[in-house]
Amino acid sequence: MHEKRKRPAKGLDRALAALRQTAGLDGRVLPIAPKPGRGCADALVEFRAGGRKYRFRVQTQGNLDRAEALGPLKERLDRHDPPCLLFAPYVTDTIARKCRELGMPFIDGVGNAYLERPGLYLFVTGQKPRGGTAREKPPRGLDTATALRMVFGILCRPEFLNARYRDITDATGIALGAVGRVFLDLRRRGFLAGGGRGHNRRLVEPVRLFEEWVTNYPTKLRPKLHANRFRTPDPNWWKTARVNQLEAGWGGEVAADRLTHYLKPTTFTLYMPAERDPKAVTRLVQLHRLRADPEGDVEVLDKFWTFAVDTAPPDLVPPILIYADLVATLDPRNLEVAKLVREKYIDHVLHTF
């Protein structure tokens, strides 16, 4: 496990050398001991500029090429002191500008960077990879919809760690043969311990696993949920909609408002069991006079789990999914409310594994 956490330093050395060439900024890697449950603990980097030293914690990441992944990363990085920066093999020009807009420091392996602290400002973009740098693949992990479905089930219902494989497939909709492969990958990457004849599997670093799930959900699983968009003539329709009668659950802004009362919803996200009840969406549309609109404010997605959820009110999706929907929007007001959801409904659960 410790060897895996030392690898990023080698890539960082190359990244700092590239940054020295593109911007003339000196930096060095300071190893840091991993701390359980901390998302930004791969290493420290120290830059020197204008006679001052600036330190950042490092969060290693695969190639950054999808804006949807930035929301979860920003919320995670904002939790740490000293500030975190992202390190990726390659950051595209578009993502580099988005990182600057969001105030997310980063460096990559080819000399692109955004750093901003009092007395330090650096923004370098446009550097292109040579050879195979851009084709470096991020470590395997929650990079498939199957793995994300199963880990979602485990994070919501810890008893699935030691449940029968058939029960896991029934609850998450994945193939029976995939269960063992996901467990094997979790074990290989240090997230799973135990699991002998006593079936005593347990999660290691559940906070880090949760953060990986949130980062990958908007790009690996959500696009496969057959989203349909509608527009409503009544912006307050959600207040009286009895969606639990359709086995549906609110996610996103409506769910956040129900939990925190700090957000006035402007978009309405529903998860519905389309596979089990193909007519559920039709009934929803008819009941609330929704009309199809690809830019509409109502989004309906497939509900990708069947297990019961202990939420109050009962017509909400699990808090983990509410949080993921919020941070994926990159909306500052949603990011603020996401912090409240995590602090009140998620963090204490993760620490019980």
CATH number of domain containing 203: 1.10.10.10
Residue 134 has pLDDT above 50, yes or no: no
Residues 97 and 199 both lie in one domain: no
Last residue of a domain, one of 135, 166, 195: 135
Q: For residues 196-222, give the mean pLDDT.
A: 87
Residues 229 and 337 both lie in one domain: yes
* Cβ neighbours of residue 17 closer than 8 Å, sequence gap 6 or more: none
Residue 289 backbone zone (phi > 0: left; psi -120 to 50: alpha; other: beta): left
39 vs 59, 72, 84, 325, 334, CA distance in Å? 7, 12, 10, 20, 21
Residues 211 and 276 both lie in one domain: no
* CA–CA separation, 13 and 16 (whole Å): 5
Residues 198 and 322 both lie in one domain: no
Residues 41 and 119 both lie in one domain: yes
pTM of the predicted model, to two decimals?
0.76
Collapsing DSSP to helix, strand or coil, 97 comes out as helix
Residues 91 and 16 both lie in one domain: yes
For residue 140, tell me if it sits in a domain. no
Q: For residues 90-112, give the mean pLDDT.
A: 90
The predicted-structure confidence for 223-272, as pLDDT tens digits, reads as follows 999 999 999 988 899 988 888 888 899 999 999 999 999 999 999 999 99
Domain count along the chain: 3
Residues 256 and 337 both lie in one domain: yes
- Report residue 255: phi and psi, to 5°: -65, -40
* Residue 22, pLDDT score: 86
Last residue of a domain, one of 183, 207, 222: 222
For residue 195, tell me if it sits in a domain. yes
Domain span including residue 171: 145-222
Residues 59 and 23 both lie in one domain: yes
* CA–CA separation, 97 and 103 (whole Å): 10
What is the overall mean pLDDT for the chain? Answer: 85
CATH number at residue 333: 3.30.460
